[in-house]
C-alpha cells in the first residue's frame, strides 16, 4: 500500500512527523532552515526538492564563496562584450559576423565510476542539452578523462566502458569529438574523472535564456518520459565520498537514449527557428525540481504545475520521485498560449512527446499539485538560489612545505646519449604521453563535415561558416601533479597550456570554462587547494584579459583518506577568422627549418620524466609567465594569418623531446636538431624540462627571417634548432632513433594494456 499523500495541508496538520532528511543528504541545520522558510515542516515532495537542489552538486554550497571572484572579471573577451555569462546554462561569446559561440565543460565523475558506460554517456548528453538550451546548435564535443594506473584491474573495467559510453552517445548524436585528454595517476583509481565539453554556435538574435516570464504562459515538458532512473543521483552520488559500498548505488545512475536526444536537438532548433519559446531550460541534475524552480526564479515569480500530467515510463512513481528523477533527454519550455499549437506540431513532426504541465503565475510561489492536491508550495528562489553557503575552513596542509622541498631537479639524470635515447623511448611509451588513438578512434571526429583540426592536434577546430571560413578552436588541459605541488600555479599552468594549444592552431584565445575536480571539501587541505586554484585562475584571467564563462565544480572525488590530485581542467575557446589558415601540429614537409620559441629553464619537478622514471612527485612546478604566454600566442596568431609557419606544436608534458616525437609520428617525417643553444647546452634539460610558454614551429627556408623578425617584434625568444627530414629523430652529438621505432613504442602501449 502506498502511504497517504503528503500534501501541504497534511504537513501543516502534522508538524512533528519524522522526516528522512539525513538520508537525503541534508544536514540538521539545513533541515531547520527549510522549516523556517516554509513556516512548517516540508511535505515529502518539498523535502525531495530542497534535498537535491541544496546538494553540493546543484548548490555549490562549499565552492560558491570562491567562485564568486570569477564574476568580478570584466565580462568581456578580446572580441567584445559577452552576450551571457556565469549563471546561465553556459556563457555566450560574440565571435563576429553576427555569430556567437557557447561552450561549457562539466563533470560526470561519480556516475562514471559506478556505471562507466551510462555515466559517461549521460555526461555527454547533459552538457549537450545545456548548450542547446542557450539557443545554440551543438557542433562539437570533447572529453577530458582521468583514470587510475593503466595496469590496475579496475582501470580495465572503467576505461573501456567510459570510452564506449562517450563514443556511443556522442557518435549517435552526430557530434564530432575533436579533442580532450586521457591521463593516468594512482589517485584516480576509484575516482575516475569524466569531464564533458560541448561547443554550440548560434546567431546573436537566437540567444535564449532560462526564465519563465509572462503570466499565463504555458509550461511544456517535452522529450523522454520520466522514469525511476537517477533518483537521488545528485544528492546521493555527487555529493558524498565513496565508501566501500560504492557500486551498490547502481540504481542512481541515469540511462541515456542518444536517439531521443538527437530528435530533441533537431526538434528544439526547429522550435527556436520558428520563434515559439519565451524561455527554456534543460533537465539535468535534480530534474524537474531544478527546471521548475530555476525557471520560476528567473521569471515573473511564480509557476503552477500539475505534476500528474508528466508522462511517465513507470506509472507507480510517487510525486517525490518524479520531482527528483534525473531521466535524460528532457527539456522544459515556456511558451505563449498562442504558440502552443505550433510548438506541439513541431514536436509531432520529430516524434517527440510534449505535454503542457503548468503555467507561469504572478503568485511568487512555485505551486505543484498532484491529482488536484497541493504537494509543493514554496518560494522558488529559496529552492534554486537560497541554498546554504558554507565558508569551509581551509588551510595549507602541513605536508606542503616538505613536498615542495623534495625537488625533482635533485634526482639522478641520464648522462649519456644512449641514456637520453632510452629516456625518450620510455617516455613516449608511458601511459600519459603515449598514443591515445585506441580511445579517440572510437569517436566520430568527422560528422557534420566542419572538423578542421581534431585529436591528436593541439586543439580541436571547427569551421563555423562555410562561406567566410570563420571558425573556433578549443583545447582542454590540466596537469594535476603541478596542481598538487602548488595549486595556484598549477591552475594557471592548466590555463596557460590550454591557451597555448589554442594559439598553436592559429586561433586567438577568447575565454575559459573550467571543471574543477577536487577531493572532499570537508578536508581543509583540499579546500585550500580549491581556494588556491580559483585564485590562480582568476588572477591569470585578469592578466590575460579573458573571462570565465562558466563551468562546474566536482568535489568529493576521494576514496576514504585519498583525494585525487587537484584537477582544475581548463577549457580555452579561441576564434580564427580564416580556418584555411590553421596551423597543423605535425611536420608537413622535409627540409624545413625548426625553431624553438620561448625560454627553457631547468624545470623538472612534477614532470613526466620524474613521474615515469623515478615515480617522484615533489618540488615546485614550472614558473608561469603569462606575459610570455600572451606574446607567444600573438606571435602564433600572426604567423598563421601571414602564413609564416607550416606547423606549430606546443611544449608541455615531456618537454621538447615529446613535442619533436609527436610532430614526427603523424607524418612520418624525421627531424635533426642540435640543442647546443638551448638550456645552456644541457641536453637533458633541453629535451625534458617542462618550462611553459614554449612551442616548436617549422618554416620553409624562405620564411626563416620573417619568423625571427616576428619573434623579435613580440619579444619571444627564438632559437633555430634544426631541420625536418629523414626517417630518424636525431639530436646532434647525443643520439638518433628511427621514427618508426619510436612510433612503435608510442602506439603500442594502450592496445597492449587494454587488449
Partner 1 sequence: MKVGVVTFPGSLDDVDAQRAVRLGGNEAVALWHGDDDLKGVDAVVLPGGFSYGDYLRCGAISRFAPVMTSVIEAAERGMPVLGICNGFQILCESHLLPGALIRNDHRKFVCRDQRLRIENTRTPWTSAYAEGQEVTIVLKNGEGGFIADEATLDMLEGEGRVVARYLDDNPNGSLRDIAGITNARGNVVGLMPHPEHCVEDLTGAGTDGLGFFTSLAAAVLA
Nearer to partner 1, 81 or 446 (CB): 446
Q: Which of 111, 125, 161, 168 binds partner 1 (CB under 8 A)?
A: 168
How many CB atoms are closer than 10 A to CB 461?
Answer: 28
Site string for partner 1, 277-316 (x = CB under 8 A): ----------------------------------------
- How many angstroms separate the CA atoms of 209 and 191, rounded? 34
Q: Which of 262, 381, 396, 614 binds partner 1 (CB under 8 A)?
A: 262
Total binding residues for partner 1 by CB under 8 A? Answer: 32
Nearer to partner 1, 400 or 442 (CB): 442
CA distances in angstroms from 308 to 228, 291, 305, listed in the order given: 15, 16, 9
Q: Which of 308, 444, 543, 682 binds partner 1 (CB under 8 A)?
A: 444
- How many angstroms separate the CA atoms of 368 and 87, rounded? 25
In angstroms, give the least distance from the CB of 190 to partner 1: 25
User: Which residue stretch of 125-133, 165-173, 268-276, 710-718 sits at the interface with partner 1 (rule: CB under 8 A)?
Assistant: 165-173
Nearer to partner 1, 177 or 558 (CB): 177
Residues 562-591 that bind partner 1 (CB under 8 A): 579-580
In angstroms, give the least distance from the CB of 330 to partner 1: 17
Q: Which of 65, 447, 676, 704 binds partner 1 (CB under 8 A)?
A: 447
Q: Which of 239, 451, 672, 674 binds partner 1 (CB under 8 A)?
A: 451
Q: Which of 449, 467, 561, 615 binds partner 1 (CB under 8 A)?
A: 449
Q: C-alpha cell of 66?
A: 570562491
- How many angstroms separate the CA atoms of 470 and 472, rounded? 7
Q: How far apart are the first and last CA of the chain?
A: 51
- How many angstroms separate the CA atoms of 406 and 408, rounded? 7
Q: Find the farthest-apart pair of alpha carbons in the chain and give their distance in angstroms, rounded.
A: 88
467 binds partner 1 (CB under 8 A): no
In angstroms, give the least distance from the CB of 732 to partner 1: 34
The answer to whether residues 134 and 513 touch, using CB atoms and an 8 Å cutoff, is: no
Q: C-alpha cell of 184?
A: 593516468
Nearest CA-CA partner of 518 in 146, 119, 253: 146
Q: Which of 259, 405, 590, 727 binds partner 1 (CB under 8 A)?
A: 259
DSSP, res 141: E
H/E stretch holding 576 reads strand 567-576
Which residue among 57, 208, 611, 616 is the active-site one? 57
b/e code 378-394 from CB counts within 10 Å (16+ = b): bbbbbbbebbeebebeb
3-state DSSP assignment of residue 631: helix
User: Which residue stretch of 202-210, 332-340, 448-456, 705-713 sits at the interface with partner 1 (rule: CB under 8 A)?
Assistant: 448-456
Q: Which of 83, 303, 452, 472 binds partner 1 (CB under 8 A)?
A: 452
Would you put residue 525 in left (φ > 0), alpha (ψ -120 to 50) or beta? alpha
Unique residue bearing C-alpha cell 629523430: 729
User: Which residue stretch of 251-259, 359-367, 384-392, 562-570 sits at the interface with partner 1 (rule: CB under 8 A)?
Assistant: 251-259
The answer to whether residues 537 and 70 touch, using CB atoms and an 8 Å cutoff, is: yes
HSE of 316, CA atoms in CB hemisphere, 13 A: 4
H/E stretch holding 638 reads helix 626-641
646 binds partner 1 (CB under 8 A): no
E runs forming strands in 577-731: 593-597, 647-650, 671-673, 695-699, 718-724, 728-731
Q: Which of 68, 225, 448, 601 binds partner 1 (CB under 8 A)?
A: 448
User: Which residue stretch of 69-77, 278-286, 439-447, 528-536 sits at the interface with partner 1 (rule: CB under 8 A)?
Assistant: 439-447
In angstroms, give the least distance from the CB of 92 to partner 1: 23
Unique residue bearing C-alpha cell 571572484: 69
Residues 339-378 that bind partner 1 (CB under 8 A): 350-351
In angstroms, give the least distance from the CB of 523 to partner 1: 39
User: Which residue stretch of 121-129, 171-179, 492-500, 562-570 sits at the interface with partner 1 (rule: CB under 8 A)?
Assistant: 171-179
Nearer to partner 1, 70 or 117 (CB): 117
Nearer to partner 1, 142 or 288 (CB): 142
In angstroms, give the least distance from the CB of 159 to partner 1: 12
Q: Which of 446, 562, 668, 727 binds partner 1 (CB under 8 A)?
A: 446
Q: Which of 9, 37, 172, 403 binds partner 1 (CB under 8 A)?
A: 172
- How many angstroms separate the CA atoms of 215 and 359, rounded? 8
Written as one string, the DSSP assignment of 34-99 is HHHHHTSPPPHHHHHHHHHHTSHHHH-TTTHHHHGGGGGS-SEETTEE-SB-BTBSSEEEEEETTE
457 binds partner 1 (CB under 8 A): no
3-state DSSP assignment of residue 505: coil
174 binds partner 1 (CB under 8 A): yes
Unique residue bearing C-alpha cell 569529438: 177
User: Which residue stretch of 46-54, 60-68, 438-446, 677-685 sits at the interface with partner 1 (rule: CB under 8 A)?
Assistant: 438-446
Nearest CA-CA partner of 626 in 468, 530, 735, 503: 503
How many CB atoms are closer than 10 A to CB 54?
Answer: 28
Nearer to partner 1, 29 or 351 (CB): 351
Alpha carbon 433 to chain centroid distance? 20
In angstroms, give the least distance from the CB of 469 to partner 1: 8
Written as one string, the DSSP assignment of 364-419 is SSEEEEETTEEEEEE-HHHHHT------------TTHHHHHHS-GGGS----SHHH
Nearer to partner 1, 345 or 441 (CB): 441
Unique residue bearing C-alpha cell 546548435: 137
In angstroms, give the least distance from the CB of 743 to partner 1: 16
57 flagged as catalytic: yes
Site string for partner 1, 124-163 (x = CB under 8 A): ----------------------------------------
Torsion angles phi and psi, residue 198, rounded to 5: -135, 145
Nearer to partner 1, 151 or 446 (CB): 446
- How many angstroms separate the CA atoms of 168 and 122, rounded? 10
In angstroms, give the least distance from the CB of 525 to partner 1: 40
Which residue among 66, 108, 304, 714 is the active-site one? 108
What radius of gyration, in Å, describes the C-alpha atoms of the chain? Answer: 26
522 binds partner 1 (CB under 8 A): no
604 binds partner 1 (CB under 8 A): no
Nearer to partner 1, 90 or 263 (CB): 263
Nearer to partner 1, 176 or 490 (CB): 176
In angstroms, give the least distance from the CB of 454 to partner 1: 10
3-state DSSP assignment of residue 462: strand
Which runs of consecutive H residues, i.e. helices, occur in 443-583? 480-485, 487-504, 524-544
In angstroms, give the least distance from the CB of 451 to partner 1: 5
Angle at CA of residue 406, ends 493 and 694, nearest 5°: 30
Q: Which of 173, 196, 378, 739 binds partner 1 (CB under 8 A)?
A: 173
443 binds partner 1 (CB under 8 A): yes
Give me the active site residues, please.
Answer: 57, 108
List of residues contacting partner 1 (CB under 8 A): 164, 167-168, 171-174, 257-260, 262-263, 350-351, 440-452, 463, 466, 579-580
Amino acid at each position: 500500500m502506498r502511504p497517504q499523500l503528503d500534501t501541504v495541508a497534511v504537513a501543516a496538520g502534522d508538524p512533528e512527523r519524522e522526516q528522512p532528511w539525513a538520508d537525503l543528504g541534508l544536514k540538521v541545520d539545513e533541515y531547520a532552515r527549510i522549516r523556517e522558510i516554509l513556516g512548517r515542516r516540508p511535505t515529502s515532495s518539498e523535502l525531495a526538492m530542497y534535498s537535491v537542489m541544496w546538494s553540493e552538486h546543484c548548490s555549490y554550497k562549499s565552492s560558491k564563496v570562491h567562485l564568486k571572484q570569477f564574476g568580478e572579471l570584466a565580462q568581456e573577451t578580446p572580441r567584445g562584450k559577452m552576450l551571457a555569462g556565469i549563471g546561465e546554462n553556459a556563457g555566450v561569446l560574440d565571435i563576429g559576423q553576427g555569430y556567437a559561440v557557447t561552450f561549457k565543460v562539466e563533470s560526470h565523475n561519480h556516475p562514471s565510476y559506478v556505471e562507466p558506460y551510462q555515466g559517461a554517456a549521460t555526461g555527454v548528453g547533459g552538457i549537450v542539452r545545456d548548450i542547446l538550451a542557450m539557443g545554440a546548435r551543438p557542433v562539437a564535443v570533447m572529453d577530458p578523462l582521468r583514470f587510475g594506473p593503466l595496469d590496475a584491474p579496475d582501470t580495465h573495467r572503467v576505461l573501456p566502458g567510459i570510452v564506449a559510453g562517450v563514443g556511443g552517445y556522442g557518435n549517435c548524436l552526430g557530434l564530432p569529438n575533436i579533442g580532450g585528454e586521457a591521463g593516468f595517476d594512482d589517485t584516480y583509481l576509484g575516482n575516475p574523472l569524466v569531464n564533458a565539453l560541448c561547443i554550440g554556435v548560434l546567431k546573436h538574435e537566437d540567444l535564449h535564456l532560462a526564465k519563465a516570464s509572462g503570466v499565463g504562459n504555458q509550461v511544456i515538458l517535452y522529450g523522454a518520459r520520466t522514469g525511476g532512473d537517477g533518483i537521488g543521483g545528485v544528492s546521493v552520488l555527487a555529493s558524498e565520498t565513496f565508501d566501500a559500498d560504492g557500486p551498490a548505488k547502481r540504481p542512481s545512475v541515469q540511462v541515456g537514449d542518444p536517439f531521443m536526444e538527437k530528435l530533441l536537438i533537431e526538434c528544439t532548433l526547429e522550435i527556436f527557428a520558428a520563434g515559439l519559446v519565451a524561455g527554456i531550460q534543460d533537465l539535468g541534475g535534480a530534474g524537474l525540481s531544478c527546471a521548475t524552480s530555476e525557471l520560476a526564479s528567473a521569471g515573473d515569480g511564480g509557476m503552477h504545475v500539475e505534476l500528474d500530467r508528466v508522462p511517465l515510463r513507470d506509472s507507480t512513481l510517487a510525486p517525490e520521485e518524479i520531482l527528483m528523477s534525473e531521466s535524460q533527454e528532457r527539456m522544459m519550455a515556456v511558451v505563449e498560449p498562442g504558440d502552443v499549437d505550433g510548438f506541439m506540431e513541431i514536436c509531432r513532426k520529430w516524434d517527440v512527446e510534449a505535454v503542457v504541465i503548468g503555467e507561469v503565475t504572478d503568485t511568487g510561489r512555485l505551486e505543484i499539485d498532484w491529482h488536484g492536491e497541493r504537494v509543493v508550495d514554496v518560494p522558488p528562489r529559496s529552492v534554486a538560489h537560497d541554498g546554504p553557503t558554507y565558508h569551509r575552513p581551509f588551510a595549507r596542509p602541513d605536508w606542503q612545505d616538505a613536498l615542495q622541498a623534495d625537488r625533482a631537479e635533485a634526482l639522478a639524470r641520464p648522462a649519456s646519449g644512449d641514456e637520453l635515447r632510452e629516456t625518450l623511448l620510455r617516455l613516449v611509451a608511458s601511459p600519459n604521453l603515449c598514443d591515445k588513438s585506441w580511445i579517440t578512434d572510437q569517436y566520430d571526429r568527422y560528422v557534420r563535415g566542419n572538423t578542421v583540426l581534431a585529436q591528436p592536434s593541439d586543439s580541436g577546430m571547427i569551421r563555423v561558416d562555410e562561406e567566410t571560413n570563420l571558425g573556433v578552436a578549443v583545447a582542454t588541459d590540466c596537469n594535476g601533479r603541478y596542481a598538487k605541488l602548488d595549486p595556484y600555479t598549477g591552475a594557471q599552468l592548466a590555463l596557460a597550456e590550454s591557451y597555448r594549444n589554442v594559439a598553436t592552431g592559429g586561433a586567438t584565445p577568447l575565454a575559459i570554462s573550467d571543471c574543477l575536480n577536487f577531493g572532499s571539501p570537508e578536508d581543509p587541505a583540499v579546500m585550500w587547494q580549491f581556494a588556491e586554484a580559483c585564485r590562480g585562475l582568476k588572477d591569470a584571467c585578469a592578466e590575460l584579459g579573458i573571462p570565465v564563462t562558466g563551468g562546474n565544480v566536482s568535489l568529493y572525488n576521494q576514496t576514504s583518506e585519498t583525494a585525487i590530485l587537484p584537477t582544475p581542467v581548463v577549457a580555452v575557446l579561441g576564434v580564427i577568422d580564416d580556418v584555411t589558415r590553421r596551423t597543423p601540429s605535425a611536420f608537413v614537409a622535409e627540409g624545413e627549418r625548426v625553431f624553438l620559441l620561448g625560454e627553457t629553464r631547468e624545470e623538472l619537478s612534477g614532470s613526466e620524466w620524474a613521474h615515469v622514471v623515478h615515480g617522484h612527485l615533489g618540488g615546485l612546478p614550472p614558473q608561469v609567465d603569462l606575459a610570455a604566454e600572451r606574446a607567444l600566442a600573438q606571435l602564433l596568431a600572426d604567423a598563421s594569418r601571414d602564413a609564416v609557419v607550416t606547423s606549430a606544436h606546443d611544449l608541455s608534458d615531456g618537454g621538447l623531446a615529446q613535442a619533436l616525437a609527436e610532430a614526427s609520428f603523424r607524418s612520418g617525417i624525421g627531424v635533426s636538431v642540435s640543442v647546443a643553444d638551448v638550456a645552456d647546452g644541457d641536453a637533458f634539460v633541453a629535451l625534458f624540462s617542462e618550462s611553459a610558454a614554449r612551442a616548436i614551429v617549422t618554416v620553409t627556408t624562405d620564411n626563416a627571417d620573417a619568423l625571427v623578425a616576428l619573434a623579435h617584434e613580440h619579444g619571444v625568444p627564438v632559437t633555430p634548432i634544426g631541420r625536418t627530414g629523414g626517417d630518424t629523430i636525431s639530436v646532434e652529438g647525443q643520439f638518433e632513433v628511427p621514427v618508426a621505432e619510436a612510433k612503435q613504442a608510442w602506439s603500442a602501449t594502450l592496445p597492449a594494456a587494454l587488449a
